[in-house]
Chains A and B, each alone.
Chain A
Amino acid sequence: MFELSIALKYLIPRKKHLSVTLIAMMSLAVISLVVWLLLVFLSVTEGMEKTWLKKLTDLNAPLRITPKQAYFSSYYHQVDSISNISNFSSKTLGEKLQTISSDPYDPEEDAEIPSYFPKPDLDDKGSLIDPVKGLFSILMQMQEKHKSLLFQDYEMSGAMLKVQMLRNRSASPFSTGQESMNFLTQVSYLATPPLHPKTLSPLLLTPTAKDINHLFFLASYRMDSFLSDSSPKTSLSTEGFQEKMNYLLKCVEIKTIKTVSPTFRLPLRLLPDNTSFTVYGVFRQDSCLEWFITDTSSKKPLMPLPNGTQYQKGTLHKKEGGSFISYGEKNIPLAKETFFSLDAPLTLRAKVDLTSVSHAFKMADIQIFVQGSIQGKEMKGSIPWADLEIVSFTLENSPLISPPWIHAKSEKEMTLPVGPSQEIGVLLPKAFQENGVLLGDKGYLSYASSTASAFQEMRTPIFVAGFYDPGILSVGNKCLLVPPSITRSINSCNTSFSFDKIALNGFQVWFDNPNNVEKIQKELESRLKEAGLLPYWQVTSFKNYDFAKDLLQQFQSDRYLFSLVGIIILLVACCNIVSFLILLVNDKKKEIAILQSMGASKKSIACIFALCGIAVGILGCALGILAGVITIKNIDTLVRFLSTLQGHDAFLQTFYGSSLPTSLSSSAILFISIATPVLSIIAGLIPAIKACRLHPSSILRSES
């Protein structure tokens, strides 16, 4: 195919055709740039959308089954309010599931059924239809078919949350006596967490070093009457300190610690014998106030000095017999219990001496065996747990220990812990963590209960057992995940938060691929219909959740908008091809005429230039995709660079998550690799038509 060989010849850059080559390079660069930009943008938005959707469906389940009005007006639901067994109160779906008999009414014991009462819905055999157990058995059947299917009943409620934040005002996390108390109050939604590890784990934030430090700090305190309105009494308490420490040290294995500047003093005995170190003395006239030891010998301490003092360099000689510091021509002998100041925090490997815990009454009584290096020399030894901060740690995952945070009770269930004073562990959304709430903080949920004569405020003690990421739902940052027992007791105490009753209680259904939601929904509905239970239940997919519908529709329209914008940008980029090809046609006029004189058809001439256009388009597309792949793989580095450049986070964590998506969107690649060649063909058509309309005779004569 001679057209291809000629097109290739035209595309190879030549010095002689500098202008054409430059324009070709520019077209190539612009197309690559646009393709790169589009690919990265589309991949990131699609990845983010997927992350948001995953969070949405993990937290709220892709499918929800809620009771319809027919359920609430049925005899099955209402009968509880007149039967003694049910304590004359309506039951939640979870409670209904646990009842032995579908009909708790006992004609002998209970009052006569009023005439206005609904008639029982009976099945073919004449027994009462049980919508809850019926639904449960259908879900069980479906679980056998779809192995990944999980379901759980949920309840929602609302209450006022008050968190009491006991904090240490000093720099050292475990120093006591400088504590302050802050409060955080928020009206909150309460919801049941998805308890299967598969759905809950991805949403949970792992405890940070700050959280763990806080837990150890709290161990020194006792908080009395923390349900009262006034400031709770907090007092340093040695009571139960050893038990608390033993318990925490079982749950957390401390790996490394950091010294707290400037309070930490490094004991001389930690330094290895028969070595020497560079030290800096702070001198006022001739007397030395303190000695600094820096982590590297060449560095002077960073600490600013008080007026009238100055640093003087010296050498510490650590000897078994007796250590001394030499500076100038003087030698100062050192006592065994000499301490050195550090100008910067020092990170050390650490292991808590568990035997010291058994007779400790405060943190400083506990000994930690540390290992690390200073000025390139290894040091080790035991130091008391004071002016130290935990940096890294591992959490014990054994189900035998029940740690004070959310943990897996078994492979299939996670559990929220219960504190020693029966306070219940709850999960708070990420926003609370950003507002300074830490793991272990205590507080209460306040709600109103109506009695015969008045409303009475009820308080349920809680503590923070973890944080979760609610994604970008608008209500997410106000939604606490609490055990069903709390929502149940709040809902039964009347409704201080009057929700739509229907939305309060229902079943959530999870499965592996949320894209299958329509299929599963149809199957469930048809099974419910078969069992005659469809009138009682409303099956809603996540696409129709009230709180998510707008967001999902926004995603959809964003996708269309981005694709449209993408096509327009690509079109503009391909316009470069037009100018390149027009220039090429003008440059190659003579050759076109010669080829025509040798019998090349107009089609062939058009084909040559169309091929040039496509080649630039495809090459640009390939280069852009390659650059896109490299960018996406290194997006974190890029984001870090952008953040450094701007001086603040380039991407808000609330929207974009902790890191941007790092996988390429296959649909974006498909879109780009179809759109670019098609648009470059269209762009190449104009110059191609121009080329084949040239008159060979006039060109050959004018060129002679």
Chain B
Amino acid sequence: MTQPLPLLEAKNLCKTFSGYTPLILLEDVSLTLHPKEAIAIKGKSGSGKSSLLHILGTLDSPTKGTVTFPRAPNLSLEQIRSSHVGFIFQSFHLLEDYTLLENVLMPGKIAKTPPILLKERALELLNQVGLLEKKDLPVKLLSGGEKQRAALARSLCNDPDILFVDEPTGNLDRTNALMVQDLLLECCKKYGKALVLVTHDEDFASLCDKTYHLKDGRLQC
């Protein structure tokens, strides 16, 4: 039986910052992500978790090594970001001058999805995260928890294969954090998404299929 193609393959990733005292952030990191797999990356602050996440999500490039998406060959970085991956950040990074619905629609607009389908999908996602009633509010009026749920809806807009989630509950209180955590896992399950989660939260990490530790630039199981 042939092994199904992985969603993401990172090989021998290195990230160094040259300067007066060169800093080695990542060293020989390799990782494979399969469909519907949820992995958590833990580590101390400043250990390079977020950098690794950005490199995996093509927002940053490694100093050495490669990140490939075997299921989406021949696609440009922009196309991969647009249709294969979704991001959720610790500080939400929503577009402040837009309404909630406009924020959720934006990835679809960038990917040039037909407007009718797009709106339908956005409304369904907002319903899923429980924010349908607030769709016309400017995002700056939402609470932290709501913002993160909105970010979740936005990341799912283009139906990506992988969600990159960077400490999603870091800026939230316990109740909201649990709510977002549950919703995230539920959505991943429901829509069949692979998840790469960077977190400090042991409990959250333990809910994933695999947990990695990033220590001294190396990834350990």
Contact = CB atoms under 8 A, between A and B. Distances in A.
Nearest to A10: B97
Given A695-B60, A697-B59, A597 B158 contact: no
Interface string B70-91: 0000001011111100010111
A600 B78 contact: yes
Contact of B93 (A14, A602, A698, A700): A700
A596 B93 contact: no
Given A697-B54, A697-B60, A600 B93 contact: no
Nearest to B61: A697
A219 B93 CA distance: 96
Nearest to A696: B59
B217 interface: no
Given A2-B106, A599-B158, 6 more contacts: A597-B87, A598-B110, A599-B82, A599-B107, A600-B110, A601-B78
A704 B110 contact: no
A603 to B, nearest CB: 9
B109 interface: yes
Contacts of B79: 599
A595 B89 CA distance: 13
> How many B residues are at the interface, by size bracket?
20 to 34
B93 A597 contact: yes
Nearest to B111: A599
A703 B60 contact: no
Interface in A621-655: none
22 contacts: A2-B106, A590-B93, A597-B57, A597-B59, A597-B81, A598-B82, A598-B154, A599-B83, A599-B107, A599-B111, A599-B158, A600-B82, A600-B110, A601-B76, A601-B78, A602-B78, A695-B60, A696-B59, A697-B51, A697-B54, A700-B54, A704-B93
A595 B54 CA distance: 15
A594 B60 CA distance: 13
A446 interface: no
A619 to B, nearest CB: 20
Interface string B99-141: 0000000110111000000000000000000000000000000
Contacts of B111: 599
Nearest to A604: B110
Interface string A573-602: 000000000000000001101111111111
A704 B107 contact: no
A19 to B, nearest CB: 16
A591 B94 CA distance: 8
Contact of B95 (A591, A601, A704): A591
Nearest to A590: B93
A595 B97 contact: no
A599 B83 CA distance: 8
A199 to B, nearest CB: 65
Contacts of A698: 60
B50 interface: yes
Contacts of B50: 701
B91 to A, nearest CB: 4
B91 A9 contact: no
Contact of A596 (B59, B90, B158): B59
A9 B82 contact: no
A14 B97 CA distance: 10
Query: Shortest 7 CB-CB distances between A and B: which pairs?
Result: A599-B82, A697-B60, A2-B109, A599-B81, A601-B78, A704-B91, A598-B107
Contacts of B87: 597-598
A695 to B, nearest CB: 7
Interface of B: 50-51, 54, 57, 59-60, 76, 78-83, 87, 89-91, 93-95, 97-98, 106-107, 109-111, 154, 158
Contacts of B95: 591, 594
A84 B145 CA distance: 121
Contacts of A594: 93-95
Contacts of B60: 695, 697-698
B165 to A, nearest CB: 13
A696 B60 CA distance: 8
A9 B97 contact: yes
A698 B59 CA distance: 9
Contacts of A9: 97-98
Contacts of A593: 93
Contacts of A696: 59
Nearest to A595: B110
Interface in A647-704: 695-698, 700-701, 703-704
Given A2-B106, A2-B109, A599-B78, A704 B59 contact: no
B112 to A, nearest CB: 8
A602 B78 CA distance: 8
B89 A704 contact: yes
Contacts of B89: 700, 704
A108 to B, nearest CB: 104
A595 B93 CA distance: 10
Q: Which of B57, B87, B95 has the largest number of chain A CB atoms within 10 A?
A: B95
B86 to A, nearest CB: 9
B108 to A, nearest CB: 9
A695 B93 CA distance: 15
A665 B159 CA distance: 57
Q: Which of B76, B89, B158 has the largest number of chain A CB atoms within 10 A?
A: B89
Contacts of B106: 2, 595, 598
A700 B54 CA distance: 10
A593 B91 CA distance: 13
Given A596-B81, A697-B54, A703 B93 contact: yes
Nearest to A14: B97
Q: Which of A2, A14, A596, A599 has the largest number of chain B CB atoms within 10 A?
A: A599
Contacts of A695: 60
A432 to B, nearest CB: 72
Contacts of A5: 109
A699 to B, nearest CB: 10
A216 to B, nearest CB: 79
Q: Which of A597, A600, A604, A696 has the largest number of chain B CB atoms within 10 A?
A: A597
A2 B109 CA distance: 6
Contacts of A590: 93
Nearest to B164: A597
B110 A599 contact: yes
Q: Which of B59, B79, B82 has the largest number of chain A CB atoms within 10 A?
A: B59
A602 B79 CA distance: 12
B151 to A, nearest CB: 10
Nearest to B78: A601
A112 B91 CA distance: 119
B211 to A, nearest CB: 23
Contacts of B97: 9, 14
A349 to B, nearest CB: 70
A136 to B, nearest CB: 75
Contacts of A703: 91, 93
Q: Which of B50, B89, B110, B154 has the largest number of chain A CB atoms within 10 A?
A: B110
Nearest to A701: B50
A320 B50 CA distance: 112
B95 to A, nearest CB: 6
Contacts of B76: 601
A698 B97 CA distance: 22
A700 B59 contact: yes
B194 to A, nearest CB: 18
A701 B94 CA distance: 14
